[in-house]
Structures are given as structure tokens and as C-alpha cells.
Amino acid sequence: MHKNTKIMKSVIQNIKEAECEGILLVVSNPVDILTYVALKESGFPQNRVIGSGTVLDTARLKYLLGQHLKVDSRSVHAFIIGEHGDSELAVWSSANVSGIDLEHFEEIRGMKEEERPWSDIYREVRDSAYEIIERKGATYYGIGIAVARIAECIVRDSRAVLPVSVLLSGEYGLYDLCLSIPAVLGQNGAEQVLEIELDDSEKMQLEESAKEINKVLAEIMGQLIPGTL
């Protein structure tokens, strides 16, 4: 964290000197912290600084749900939000397959309640990076595709909704930190941040996730340029 914060600061300094008018897409970890650092250091408007956030985690969730439900993952609508890390959460309350909620879809597909592996799926999504790193040292293909997808939305101004890491300004009662919630992505970056509906337990989990991020932010705040916070 400290090492990458330092690197991020020097990279942002160079970008500022080049008078860049582009959009900053942060991928390095811890991505929510470094997105915040990039935002504060660059002074760019918040729509122009985004982190890859939970786009990859969300793709993994859709893939695993698709496998379980025996349906194309592109027909699965579900999000992982919060920190890109251990405190992230799956928004089960609004997850659906083409408008049909998951439980109903499982019934339609002839699956029994006891066969519902949602918590296993969540754990597999949350921990998959650890497993990949253990087996081959680093993760690169999945994140490569996620970054290409985000860049495509910006370059083509396609306005897809993806869960990128953005500055929160009151969404879910949270302020002044970056974490992932769905946002409309186009040529202006995160055009609009969407406060999707969460049930009470999901709201609590998101607050816990924000607390984890805030703990780390408090630790690195001393490293940022004074007066920028």
C-alpha cells in the first residue's frame, strides 16, 4: 500500500505536468485506496478518476451463477460492490436472470432450495485472486479483459453500467472515499453513479466495507499533499 501510494503519486505528478485531459483508470492494488489517491493528487473532477473496482469480481460472479443455473452469464444480472477485496459483497436482493429473480429461476430450472450454493459462489468470487496467485504467481488475463471492457465503454461512449470504484458523495450515507458501485460509463468517465437498491443486510455489509477502506485511508492520509483532503 505505502509503496504503491508513492508510485501513484509520482505517476500522477507526471500526468499533471503533461496537462492530460483524459480519464484516469486505476488498476493497481489496493485499487480503492489508489483511486482515491489519484483523485486527490490529480485534482481532476470525480467523474474522470475511476478504479477498475469490482468489474472483474462481478464478471466472475455472473460466470459462476451462469454455470450453476445453466444459463449464459450474459443473461445474469448481478453485482459485486464495495471494496475490491475481502469486504466486498454480492447484491443478491436484486440479482436476476433476465428479470426473473434467482430463487424463481432456480425453481424453473428444477433446482431444490438445499442445492443453492450462493455463499459458496460468493466465497469463490472473493477468494479467486488468492487461488490464481497461489497457482501461477499473478492474475492478468481476467483483469486485462475487465480493463478492456471499461476502456471500450469510455472510448465508444457506450454508457454501459459497470461497478467501478468512484468517489462517494453521500450515496448510501457514505462520503469521501472510493469504492465500487454501479456507474454509467461513457466518454466523460463515470457519468452517473447509481445508488441501486440494497436490503438492510447489504447496506450493513457496504458500511462495513467502507469502514475497512476508511481505516486504510486514515493510515495513508499523511502521505498526500497537505491541503488536498
Ligand X SMILES: NC(=O)c1ccc[n+]([C@@H]2O[C@H](COP(=O)([O-])OP(=O)(O)OC[C@H]3O[C@@H](n4cnc5c(N)ncnc54)[C@H](O)[C@@H]3O)[C@@H](O)[C@H]2O)c1
Minimum Å distance from CB 172 to ligand X?
22
Residue 28 in contact with ligand X, rule: CB under 6 A: yes
Side chain identity, residue 93: S
**Strand spans (E) along the chain:** 24-26, 49-51, 76-77, 80-81, 89-90, 96-97, 100-101, 160-169, 175-186, 189-193
Cell of 223: 502521505
- Report the residue number, 31 or 183, with the smaller CB distance to ligand X: 31
Residue 52 in contact with ligand X, rule: CB under 6 A: yes
Which residues from 83-102 bind ligand X, rule CB under 6 A? Answer: 84
> What is the Cα–Cα distance from 56 to 134, expressed in whole angstroms?
18
Binding mask 105-144 for ligand X (x = CB under 6 A): ---------------------------------xxx--x-
> What is the Cα–Cα distance from 144 to 132, expressed in whole angstroms?
14
Name the residues annotated as catalytic: 84
Candidate residues 23, 24, 25, 31; the one interacting with ligand X per rule CB under 6 A: 31
**Residue 191: φ, ψ to 5°:** -60, -40
Minimum Å distance from CB 138 to ligand X?
4
Which residues are near ligand X by CB under 6 A?
4, 7, 10-11, 27-29, 31, 52, 56, 84, 138-140, 143
